[in-house]
């Protein structure tokens, strides 16, 4: 039995559980370990040994996580909520941030080890490099609890504190980039070389392929890759390590030389891309695969994977909550457990006995690997991204050869650039063409109806539970007949079609549906009636939420790929920053915007107008009221009525269907609300979307008394403004 794998995976499971649980859950972990041990003591020896290892693994995971927290995290937590002068050493190159720049840094507090922090500052950071020391007045916050919400985004990367620089920053330059950061400097150098040979989208993709840097990815590109299930292609992962090691093996020949040369190359590559979990896993597993024959040992992939996971978690238990780690390990686990079975099923049924048919074998091998990798990652994709790509197997089948070719060609062009740049630029034409082909396939498949399904469809979650329950029953059952397998497969397909149809049928039967989408601290309201749709606003100030994705998912779930009307109440990012993704996902027939009377946000307006022009969208800059009939629903648009800023100079909208009325006011304040009542006497509104996310300066008492809404919806998320205000909730 795989004793080491059992210990490692049980310890990892305990550590993972503790990343999401309160501190007292350590006791629950201890009880679980004791329960497993007691259960196993009554079993025969092999099972008793297995139970002992599982119990020891669970206990070790709980103990180590607690010890790590005590030694490294608790000393850092004492600084959260303070303001003081700090001196930190940059541990990475700065990146662009909404309000300036950000960079990972190390802060020596005198504790057992430097504290890893995320430093936020002004444009001064862009001139800095790893090894430089930054001194600044700073506000320090916890990276684990932000505005009362527990997050794992930063702790999964080992970051304990968020340091917000206040005022000027003093920079002490390092004489040279320290040796420990040399791989990062080489990565930056490679990016500059790539920029000399590639341009546009191909440059962005090649930089991601060879260095893992995705700083230039925009929302549109990321959405396309996610929708078609090939995000992993551009996120440095085990696939890239396999490509690199395969190239070394091809160049040096023998297995021994490949291990001697290839493993140091892989180690340097791992450091160059930031030692992300997926690369750490792949490098360790490739090392075990290469070294085992040299020491006359048999490699066991599951054991190697378990050991790799344990090594990563010993360095940072918080990495257990890393999405990339979970996806990487579960995809490999799926391939190890299921790919051979899937290949056997395909080959037994579709390859004639006695005939080699190499083409079919290659095809079935690729399909088996893709399906195997998807077995455990589909639920995670639904959980984390709200999306299940149905075209992912086809996209991978059509594109992985091109990505492989682009990777090898990219490496060759970079190597040649050190000798003769003009020759390298000529060689780069072919890998660039492969990347163009890759994106052409991605764009084509992303335009297909139902290329992906979304958890905006609530029935999809139930279907996933049903589907995986059926798989578990089949795997646990003994002597299952082929007819049963086909019956379960047919039932899965039929029920999936029903899941897709249910929201469309329900929406078609209703006179009107209105959805206030969950976009966090922002606003986006979708109205559907008579086969037409209108979206009011599309933005969020929460960086982890893309309002354009949320809106497009909802529209696609209703079986539509076109938006009839896109209405923007005003020019603020928390109402408009999702438009880029939205335009890339759906066709927008008409865009209605408020006419600007001042210079504020002219730049944002122009960006929106440019995007609309690129997509052939009709644009209306509203200065006077307008009434739109949409499939039996009346949309009454009120022009800007206030003055002084974008909030006051925005549109508002009354949606009416029979006796039902819904009012949306954007970020309108109480003074402008009074002007709206003077402009259009309103009363007896069934639903009011509260103004300005529940701000105390909106949704005033007089406004509420006049409207008498039956329900009030507040579109709000994590924020530092105190929304929704207690005063507003009291008035409502």
**Domain that includes residue 498, residue range:** 458-503
How many structural domains are present in the chain?
4
Strands 83-90 and 95-97: unpaired
CA–CA gap between residue 93 and residue 483 (Å, rounded): 58
Instruction: Using the 3D structure, point to which of 120, 147, 176 is the last residue of a domain.
Output: 176
For 64, how many CA atoms within 13 A lie in the half-sphere containing its CB?
A: 23
Q: Residue 127 carries which DSSP code?
A: G
User: Cα dist. 656→513, 517, 529, 593, 663 in Å?
Assistant: 11, 19, 11, 20, 9
CA–CA gap between residue 390 and residue 243 (Å, rounded): 26
CA–CA gap between residue 275 and residue 248 (Å, rounded): 20
CA–CA gap between residue 402 and residue 436 (Å, rounded): 9
CA–CA gap between residue 128 and residue 131 (Å, rounded): 9
- Tokens 């005022």 sit on residue: 167
Question: 10 with 146, same domain?
Answer: no
**Cβ-contact 556, 530 below 8 angstroms:** no
Question: 520 with 617, same domain?
Answer: yes
256 located within any domain: no
Q: Which two tokens stand for residue 445?
A: 């498949």
Output the 3-class SS for 183-229. HHHHHHHHHHHHHHHCCHHHHHHHHHHHHCCCCCCCHHHHHHHHHCC
Instruction: Using the 3D structure, point to which of 76, 107, 126 is the last residue of a domain.
Output: 76
What is the per-residue pLDDT for 135? 95
Strands 83-90 and 133-142: antiparallel
Instruction: Using the 3D structure, point to which of 442, 470, 503 is the last residue of a domain.
Output: 503
Element (H, E) at 664: strand 660-664
Question: 463 with 599, same domain?
Answer: no
CA–CA gap between residue 202 and residue 472 (Å, rounded): 42
Element (H, E) at 535: strand 532-540
62 located within any domain: yes
Cross-strand bridge partners of residue 85: 137
Average pLDDT, consecutive stretches of 10 residues, N- to C-terminus, the chain (732 residues):
83 87 74 74 74 86 90 91 94 87 93 91 91 94 83 90 91 90 92 94 93 83 89 79 84 81 88 85 87 81 90 92 90 89 79 68 83 91 92 92 92 93 95 96 92 94 92 72 74 93 91 94 95 95 89 93 95 92 93 78 85 93 92 93 78 94 94 92 93 94 94 90 92 94
232 located within any domain: no
660 located within any domain: yes
Sheet strand arrangement including 687-689: 626-630, 633-638, 652-657, 660-664, 687-689, 711-713
CA–CA gap between residue 698 and residue 679 (Å, rounded): 18
Dihedrals phi, psi of 390, to nearest 5 degrees: -85, -20
Q: Residue 666 carries which DSSP code?
A: T
CA–CA gap between residue 586 and residue 551 (Å, rounded): 10
Taking alpha carbons only, the member of 477, 517, 568 closest to residue 715 is 517
Q: Which two tokens stand for residue 456?
A: 């905006």
What crossing angle do the helices spanning 323-334 and 277-294 adopt, rounded to 10°? 40
Taking alpha carbons only, the member of 404, 463, 411, 96 closest to residue 230 is 404
**Cβ-contact 251, 411 below 8 angstroms:** no
Burial of 249 (0-12, 13-18, 19+ CB in 10 A): middle
Other Cβ atoms within 10 Å of 150 Cβ, number: 13
CA–CA gap between residue 540 and residue 219 (Å, rounded): 13
- Tokens 């917000």 sit on residue: 164
296 located within any domain: no
CA–CA gap between residue 223 and residue 547 (Å, rounded): 12
Question: 132 with 28, same domain?
Answer: no
450 located within any domain: no
Q: Is 275 helix (H, G, I), strand (E, B) or coil?
A: coil
Question: 71 with 89, same domain?
Answer: no
**Cβ-contact 587, 555 below 8 angstroms:** no
407 located within any domain: no
Cross-strand bridge partners of residue 96: 101
Q: What's 157's domain CATH number? A: 2.40.50
Q: What's 651's domain CATH number? A: 3.60.15.10
Question: 520 with 611, same domain?
Answer: yes
CA gyration radius for the chain?
28
Those residues whose C-beta lies under 8 Å from the C-beta of residue 489, and which sit 6 or more positions away, are: none
The pTM score is: 0.86
Cross-strand bridge partners of residue 346: none
User: Cα dist. 101→94, 121, 524 in Å?
Assistant: 6, 5, 28
Question: 48 with 109, same domain?
Answer: no
Q: Is 377 helix (H, G, I), strand (E, B) or coil?
A: helix
Q: Which two tokens stand for residue 77?
A: 């937590």
Q: Residue 599 carries which DSSP code?
A: S
Question: 480 with 550, same domain?
Answer: no
Those residues whose C-beta lies under 8 Å from the C-beta of residue 380, and which sit 6 or more positions away, are: 323, 326, 327, 330
Question: 464 with 598, same domain?
Answer: no
Question: 144 with 163, same domain?
Answer: yes
Question: 538 with 672, same domain?
Answer: yes
Q: Which two tokens stand for residue 381?
A: 């994709």
**Cβ-contact 278, 241 below 8 angstroms:** no
Question: 13 with 88, same domain?
Answer: no
**Cβ-contact 109, 79 below 8 angstroms:** yes
382 located within any domain: no
Q: Which two tokens stand for residue 705?
A: 């008394």
Those residues whose C-beta lies under 8 Å from the C-beta of residue 472, and which sit 6 or more positions away, are: none
DSSP string over 128-179:
--TT-EEEEEEEEEESSEETTEE--TTGGGT--EEEEEEEEEEEE--SS--G
Dihedrals phi, psi of 547, to nearest 5 degrees: -65, -30
Other Cβ atoms within 10 Å of 205 Cβ, number: 29
CA–CA gap between residue 257 and residue 252 (Å, rounded): 6
Taking alpha carbons only, the member of 170, 44, 158, 166 closest to residue 100 is 166
Q: Which two tokens stand for residue 113?
A: 């080890």
**Cβ-contact 677, 703 below 8 angstroms:** yes
């Amino acid at each position: 039995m795989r004793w080491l794998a059992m210990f490692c995976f049980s310890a990892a499971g305990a550590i993972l559980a503790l990343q999401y649980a309160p501190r007292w859950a350590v006791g629950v972990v201890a009880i679980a370990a004791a329960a497993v041990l007691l259960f196993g003591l009554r079993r025969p020896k092999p099972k008793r040994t297995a139970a002992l290892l599982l119990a020891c693994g669970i206990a070790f995971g709980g103990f180590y996580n607690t010890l790590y927290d005590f030694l490294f995290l608790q000393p850092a937590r004492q600084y959260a909520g303070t303001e003081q002068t700090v001196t930190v050493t940059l541990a990475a190159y700065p990146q662009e941030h909404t309000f300036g720049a950000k960079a990972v840094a190390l802060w020596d507090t005198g504790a057992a080890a430097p504290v890893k922090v995320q430093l936020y500052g002004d444009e001064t950071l862009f001139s800095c490099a790893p090894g430089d020391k930054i001194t600044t007045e700073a506000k320090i916050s916890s990276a684990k609890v932000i505005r009362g919400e527990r997050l794992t985004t930063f702790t999964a990367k080992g970051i304990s504190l968020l340091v917000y620089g206040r005022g000027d920053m003093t920079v002490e330059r390092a004489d040279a980039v320290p040796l420990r950061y040399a791989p990062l400097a080489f990565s930056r150098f490679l990016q500059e070389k790539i920029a000399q040979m590639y341009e546009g989208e191909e440059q962005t993709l090649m930089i991601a392929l060879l260095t893992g840097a995705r700083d230039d990815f925009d929302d549109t590109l990321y959405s396309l890759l996610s929708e078609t299930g090939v995000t992993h292609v551009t996120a440095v992962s085990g696939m890239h390590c396999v490509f690199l090691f395969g190239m070394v093996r091809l160049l040096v020949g023998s297995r021994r030389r490949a291990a001697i040369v290839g493993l140091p190359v892989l180690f340097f590559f791992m450091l160059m891309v930031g030692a992300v979990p997926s690369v750490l896993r792949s490098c360790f597993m490739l090392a075990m695969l290469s070294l085992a024959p040299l020491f006359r040992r048999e490699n066991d992939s599951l054991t190697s994977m378990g050991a790799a996971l344990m090594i990563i978690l010993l360095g940072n238990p918080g990495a257990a909550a890393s999405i990339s780690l979970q996806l990487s390990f579960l995809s490999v686990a799926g391939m190890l457990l299921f790919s051979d079975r899937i290949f056997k099923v395909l080959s037994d049924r579709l390859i004639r006995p006695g005939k080699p048919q190499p083409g079919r074998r290659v095809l079935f091998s690729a399909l088996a690997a893709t399906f195997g990798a998807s077995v455990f990652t589909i639920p995670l994709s639904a959980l984390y991204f709200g999306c299940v790509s149905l075209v992912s197997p086809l996209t991978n089948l059509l594109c992985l050869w091109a990505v492989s070719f682009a990777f090898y060609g990219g490496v060759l062009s970079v190597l040649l650039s050190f000798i003769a740049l003009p020759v390298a630029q000529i060689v780069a034409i072919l890998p660039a063409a492969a990347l163009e082909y890759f994106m052409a396939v991605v764009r084509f498949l992303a335009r297909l109806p139902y290329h992906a399904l979304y958890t905006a469809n609530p029935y999809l979650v139930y279907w996933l539970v049903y589907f995986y329950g059926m798989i578990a029953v089949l795997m646990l059952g003994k002597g299952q007949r082929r007819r049963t397998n086909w019956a379960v497969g047919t039932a899965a397909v039929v029920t999936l079609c029903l899941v897709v149809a249910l929201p469309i049928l329900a929406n078609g039967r209703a006179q009107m549906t209105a959805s206030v989408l969950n976009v966090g601290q922002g606003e986006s309201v979708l109205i559907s009636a008579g086969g037409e749709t209108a979206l009011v606003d599309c933005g969020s100030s929460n960086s982890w939420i893309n309002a354009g994705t949320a809106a497009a998912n909802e529209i696609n779930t209703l079986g539509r790929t076109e938006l009839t009307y896109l209405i923007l109440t005003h020019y603020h990012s928390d109402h408009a920053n999702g438009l880029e993704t939205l335009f890339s996902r759906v066709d927008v027939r008409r865009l209605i915007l408020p006419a600007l009377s001042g210079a504020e946000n002219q730049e944002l307006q122009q960006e929106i107008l440019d995007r609309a022009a690129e997509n052939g969208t009709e644009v209306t800059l509203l200065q006077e009221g307008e009434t739109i009939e949409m499939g039996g629903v009346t949309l009454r648009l009120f022009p800007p009525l206030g003055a002084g800023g974008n909030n006051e100079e925005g549109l508002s909208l009354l949606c009416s269907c029979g006796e039902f009325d819904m009012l949306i006011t954007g970020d309108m304040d109480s003074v402008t609300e009074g002007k709206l009542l003077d402009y259009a006497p309103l009363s007896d509104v069934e639903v009011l979307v509260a103004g300005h996310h529940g701000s105390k300066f909106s949704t005033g008492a007089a406004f509420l008394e006049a409207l008498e809404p039956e329900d009030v919806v507040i579109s709000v998320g994590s924020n530092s403004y105190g929304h929704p205000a207690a005063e507003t909730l009291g008035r409502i």
